[in-house]
Structure 1
Amino acid sequence: MHFFSHAPQPVQKEVEAFWYLNLSPEQQAAHDKFLAHLTDTKQLLVGHDDRYTLLRFLKARQWDVNKATIMYTNMTKWRAEHGTDRLYETFTFPEEDQVIEHYPHFYHMTDKFGRPLYIELLGHTDAAKILEHTSMERLMDYHIVEWERLKREILPRCSLLAGKPIITKNVILDLKGVSMKNFGHAAREILTKIAAIDQDYYCESLGQMFIINTPTVFRLIWAVVNPMLEERTRRKIIILGSDYMPTITQLIPEDNLPACLGGKGARTDMKTTIGPWTEVELPAPGPAAMAAATAAAASPAKEPAAASPAKEPVVASPVKEPMVTVPADTVAVTVGNGIIAAH
């Protein structure tokens, strides 16, 4: 983790961004052992039994199969107890507009590798006011459903556009206007619960995180936040001041940054999803697609190529007809991501 440097900082390279396509022989052996163990003990969860999900849990536990097994089975138990699949299908959040007024966050375009960009404007966030409009339980359910939408809807479409599996997102946290009052008791409680969900059940889904416009008081704030994060998460965080553009634009084209962060991307609100994936229709899963996925997983991964950013932002809207022609060989990317299998 880089802290408060004014010089441009190094960002993820392609081989780091697509670590799951560049496994060492030892890592591949760990995956094979992990898969065999979960299969033999009947602990694989349908919809979360694909190659990339297993690799995420292995990486989160430093490729230790025993530790990864414990983490994976804890995840499957949590999903069953929380009814996560049903929550995704049935949850409604009529208080969303009121919550977003005090917690502006949105997806906006992709980085140069085709990974979606998620942004939070923490200087405009007031945790106490959020909880005036919703309960902590409903806020956590909303957070979980947002994760499920990313996994089931956004990442598979980004994979189709990139022509290879996209399994992570990039995050920008804008701290402009933040003070210690933003991190009172309610904020700490929300952060603690969110950090546990993110790291325990949606592990290794973060590509890179940029924390920008950090105020002087951030060192005190970081002392509160830091203990909530595992070291593997901290290593992905770059902390910057107001001179963040030279660092961020190494990974995210200026055209793909919203104007509120100094980019050229148009944005009319702090809610609407804007990105090329909104005009992609996913192919329905089926035996042919699953067979293609199995064949793709058995084949050596090709060296990934950087995805070209979309030139024009696309505002999310219901898609009735597919706007992108999907080549047959990219179906394996989506199904192989294991994201739409639970539909």
Structure 2
Amino acid sequence: MGIGSEEAIRQLRALMDHVEEQLKCTFQNVHQGYLTETLERFLKAREWNITKAHKMLVDCLNWRVDNEIDMMLTKPIVPVDVYRAIRDSQLIGLSGYSREGLPVFAIGVGLSTFDKASVNYYVQSHIQINEYRDRIVLPSASKKYGRPITTCVKVLDMTGLKLSALSQIKLLTIISTIDDLNYPEKTNTYFIVNVPYIFSSCWKVVKPLLQERTRKKIQVLSGSGRDELLKIMDYSSLPHFCKREGSGSNRHSSNGAENCYSLDHPFHQQLYNHIKQQAVQESSRPIKQGSVHVSLPESAAEGNDIVKTIELELHKYGNGNGNGNGNGLSNSLGSLKI
């Protein structure tokens, strides 16, 4: 971190000292004691422009207060069958940790369908995983490794990627924009594996639309990516779809403890039990069923450009080759912002 960076962080910190008390309280849940690293993330997201970073951070804190984000880990998705359906159609899980201590999140881009619940449920689930990552997983990793760990690694599995998922673009851009505005710079590296031809072709036109700092984080690996990923993590931390060449992803695994997407996986069991316990501690009233409604942002300009490009490319391939019946390239948009 250079002198200019240190000065920018100092100035932003001074500005944050003057925000109202309610925002300071939710800011505690954002930085978890790692104030410098948090200020640096927001500055990076606004190209080190202090004024813009300050506005972004204050807007984020107001969003958290207005939507009771600090309470999101006290609002379980019940009954459990609804949550299981979400886990079967919004494929994400924690497979382990890199050798540097960064959590490794696996995301089944190609096989996620987002068709088992309402948009509000999927947004609620996504924010809960974000909050659990930032308030439980990362602080625990920081304590274990004796240094600040405030980012993660993501492995995106493109198995099953097909042309016909334009209907999912709206949801994925909502999730993407929530992360852009409120959880910036949380991913250290994106590894993309099991890449089909359709992704390779569209990637050539989408890549230039991404900001440079995002492009630098993305590595498209050959096959399942196993050999490359073993350079930064142990075999036990590999996502299940990377453990052997040609294995691909699988939404329904016979062993839920190995399938990091499954509700039966230890990560999701711990997450779900944590939320239920917090709900009981917070209120003596019966747990309310139904999704949590969060104000949904307008798509960011970059996201809109990417969406338009993806739509054009998918239509181009669809007109030439016919549409598939599965999920689509549009899912990758949201995955690159989680």
TM over 0.5: yes
The 3 A distance-change label for structure 1 pair 205 and 161 is same
Whole-angstrom CA distance in 2 between matches of 1:80 and 1:316: 23
* Corresponding residue of 1:232: 213
Contact 1:192 1:228 in 2 (8 A): no
Q: Where does the alignment leave 5 or more consecutive residues of structure 1 unmatched?
A: 1-22, 279-314, 319-343
What secondary structure, in the 3-state scheme, does the structure 1 residue paired with 2:42 have? helix
Q: Tell me which stretches of 4 or more aligned residues in structure 1 moved more than 3 Å.
A: 40-44, 219-231, 263-266, 272-275, 315-318
CA distance in 2, matches of 1:245, 1:69: 40
Matched-pair contact (CA < 8 Å) for 1:61–1:67: yes
Task: Give the 5 Å matches for 1:246-265.
Answer: 246-262=227-243
- Give 1:270's aligned residue: 261
Residues 197-223 of structure 1, C-alpha deviations (whole Å, 9 max, x = no match): 111100111011101111000145547
Letter of the aligned partner of 1:161 in structure 2? K
Aligned to 1:170, the other structure's residue is in SS state strand
Q: Secondary structure at the match of 1:99?
A: helix
Q: Counterpart of 1:45?
A: 24
User: 1:180-329, aligned counterparts within 5 Å?
Assistant: 180-181=163-164, 184-219=165-200, 221-222=202-203, 229-242=210-223, 244-262=225-243, 267-268=258-259, 270-271=261-262, 272=264, 274=266
Is 2:3 the partner of 1:25? Answer: yes
Q: Give, in angstroms, the shift of residue 172 of structure 1.
A: 0.4
The 1:231/1:269 distance shift into structure 2, 3 A limit, reads closer
Instruction: For 2:232 and 2:217, locate their aligned partners in 1 and report how far apart those are by CA, in whole Å.
Output: 13
Question: 1:147 deviation in Å?
Answer: 0.5
What's the % identity of the aligned pairs? 25
Question: Is 1:149 the counterpart of 2:132 in the alignment?
Answer: yes
How many Å separate the matches in 1 of 2:125 and 2:215? 25
2:24 is paired with a residue whose SS is coil
User: 1:321 matched to which residue of 2?
Assistant: none
Q: Partner of 2:190: helix, strand, or coil?
A: strand
Q: CA deviation at 1:158?
A: 0.7
Cα distance in 1 for residues equivalent to 2:272 and 2:237: 15
Q: Give 2:50's aligned residue.
A: 65
Q: CA RMSD in A?
A: 2.9
Q: 1:173 aligns with which of 144, 147, 156?
A: 156
Distance 1:101 1:207, change over 3 A: same
The Cα shift of 1:89 comes to 1.9
Q: What is aligned with 1:84?
A: 69
What stretches of structure 2 of length at least 5 have no aligned partner?
246-254, 275-338
How high is the TM-score relative to the length of structure 2?
A: 0.66
For the 8 Å contact 2:195–2:223, the answer to whether it is kept is yes
1:334 is aligned to: none
